[in-house]
C-alpha cells in the first residue's frame, strides 16, 4: 500500500475516533440520569481493562508482566486520567454535552502550554494567536450561556468548573504520557492505567444502583466501555499511518459532531435530554474556541 493510501487510512481512523468522542458526551448525559458518575467511570475503566487484557493474552502476552511492577510515573498518569474522566462526566451532569465539549478544549491548550514550558518547544505567533482566541471564545461562550440559562446558572457554573478541571487533568496526563510512550508500549500503558483506575474507583461504586439498570441503560454503559477501547485503539492506528498534526485537527473537531447530534435530538424531541440553548454569540464563541485550539495544534512541531 502506497504512502497516500496509508495516510488516508490513518485519517479514516482519526475520523472514527472523532465520531466516538463526539457522541460520548451525549451518552454520558443519558447515563448520569440514572447512575452516579463514579460508578460510570469505574465501569468504563473496568470494561476497558478486561477487553484489553484478553487482547494482550491472545496477541501480546509477554507485556502483561509489567502489571505486577508498574512504574510509579504510570500510576501518577492514571490518577490524572481518572480525574479527567470523573471531572468530565460530573460536569456533563450539571451542564449540557455541547457546553462540556467546548470547555474540555482547555485540555488541548493546556497540553500545548506544557509542551512550551516543560518540553521547551519554541513559541511562535500562531501559539499566541491560538491561546488568545481560546480565551476570548470561552469568555464569550460562557457569559452568553450564563445569560441564556437564568435560574440554573449556579449548576451551569459548577458543571463548567468540573469539566475545566477535567480538561486540566487531561493536560497533565498527556504531558506525563508523552514521556512514557518512548519507554512503554501503548497497550502496556493503557492496561496499567485502566487496571489501576478500576481499583481506585471500586470502593466508591453504587453496586445496587448499577444492578437496577434497565436493558437500555446497560447497553449504553457497554457502549461507553467500548467507546473507551475503540477510540484509543483507532487513535493509535491513526497516528501510526497519518501525521499527528492532521490527526489532532480532526480530533479537535469532535465538538461539532456533538452540536449536530444535540440538534438532531432536539428535532426528534426526545424526552431523556434537555435541548441546548444557544444564542448567535455563544455559537460564535464556540467556533472561536475550536479555531483557536486548531491553530494551537497546527503550530506544534512535528
pLDDT, one tens digit per residue, over 107-123 is 777 776 776 677 666 66
The CA distance from 90 to 117, in Å, is 29
Q: Residue 103 corresponds to which cell in the numbers above? A: 470547555
What percent of the chain is modeled with pLDDT above 90? Answer: 33
pLDDT tens figures, 175-204: 888 778 777 777 888 899 999 999 999 999
Classify the C-alpha dihedral 160-161-162-167 as positive or negative: positive
How far apart are the C-alpha atoms of 208 and 20, rounded to whole Å? 29
Q: Provide the phi-psi class of 151: left if phi over 0, else alpha when psi is between -120 and 50, else beta.
A: left
Residue 238 pLDDT level (bands cut at 50, 70, 90): confident
Rounded to a whole number of angstroms, the distance between the first and last alpha carbons of the chain is 23
Count of CB atoms situated within 10 Å of the CB of 253: 16
- Look at 164-168, 235-239, 244-248, 276-280 and tell me which has the smallest mean pLDDT: 244-248
Three-class DSSP category at 271? coil
What is the full DSSP assignment across 209-235?
A: HHHT--HHHHHHHHHHHHHHHHHHHHH
**Structural element, H or E, at residue 168:** helix 153-180
pTM higher than 0.95, yes or no? no
Measured CA to CA, the distance from residue 64 to residue 57 in angstroms comes to 8
The pLDDT of residue 236 is above 80: no
**Of residues 186, 189, 180, 174, the one with CA closest to residue 113:** 174
Is residue 168 packed enough to be buried (19+ CB in 10 Å), middle (13-18) or exposed (0-12)?
Answer: buried
pLDDT cut 70: percent of the chain above it: 89
Residue 193 CB coordination number (10 Å): 26
Q: pLDDT-based confidence at 302, cuts 50/70/90?
A: very low
Give residues with Cβ within 8 angstroms of 259, minimum separation 6.
98, 101, 276, 286
More confident residue, 279 or 164: 164
- Rg for the chain (alpha carbons), in Å? 19
Helix (H) or strand (E) holding 244: helix 244-252
Domain residue limits, the chain? 3-298
Amino acid at each position: 500500500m502506497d504512502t497516500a493510501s496509508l495516510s488516508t487510512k490513518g485519517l479514516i481512523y482519526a475520523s472514527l475516533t472523532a465520531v466516538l468522542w463526539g457522541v460520548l458526551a451525549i451518552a454520558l448525559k443519558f447515563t448520569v440520569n440514572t447512575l452516579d458518575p463514579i460508578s460510570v467511570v469505574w465501569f468504563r475503566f473496568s470494561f476497558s481493562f478486561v477487553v484489553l487484557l484478553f487482547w494482550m493474552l491472545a496477541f501480546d502476552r509477554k507485556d502483561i508482566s509489567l502489571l505486577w511492577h508498574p512504574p510509579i510515573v504510570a500510576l501518577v498518569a492514571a490518577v490524572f486520567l481518572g480525574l479527567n474522566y470523573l471531572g468530565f462526566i460530573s460536569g456533563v451532569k450539571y451542564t449540557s454535552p455541547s457546553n462540556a465539549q467546548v470547555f474540555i478544549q482547555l485540555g488541548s491548550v493546556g497540553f500545548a502550554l506544557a509542551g512550551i514550558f516543560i518540553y521547551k518547544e519554541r513559541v511562535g505567533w500562531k501559539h499566541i494567536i491560538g491561546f488568545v482566541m481560546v480565551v476570548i471564545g470561552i469568555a464569550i461562550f460562557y457569559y452568553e450561556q450564563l445569560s441564556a440559562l437564568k435560574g440554573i446558572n449556579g449548576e451551569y457554573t459548577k458543571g463548567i468548573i468540573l469539566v475545566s478541571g477535567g480538561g486540566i487533568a487531561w493536560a497533565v496526563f498527556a504531558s506525563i504520557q508523552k514521556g512514557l510512550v518512548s519507554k512503554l508500549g501503548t497497550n502496556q500503558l493503557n492496561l496499567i492505567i485502566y487496571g489501576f483506575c478500576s481499583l481506585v474507583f471500586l470502593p466508591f461504586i453504587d453496586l445496587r444502583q448499577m444492578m437496577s439498570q434497565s436493558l437500555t441503560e446497560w447497553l449504553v454503559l457497554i457502549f461507553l466501555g467500548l467507546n473507551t477501547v475503540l477510540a484509543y485503539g483507532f487513535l493509535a492506528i491513526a497516528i501510526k499511518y497519518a501525521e499527528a498534526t492532521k490527526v489532532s485537527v480532526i480530533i479537535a473537531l469532535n465538538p461539532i459532531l456533538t452540536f449536530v447530534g444535540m440538534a438532531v435530538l432536539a428535532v426528534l424531541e426526545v424526552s431523556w435530554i434537555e435541548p441546548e440553548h444557544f444564542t448567535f454569540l455563544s455559537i460564535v464563541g464556540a467556533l472561536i474556541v475550536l479555531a483557536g485550539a486548531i491553530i494551537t495544534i497546527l503550530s506544534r512541531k512535528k
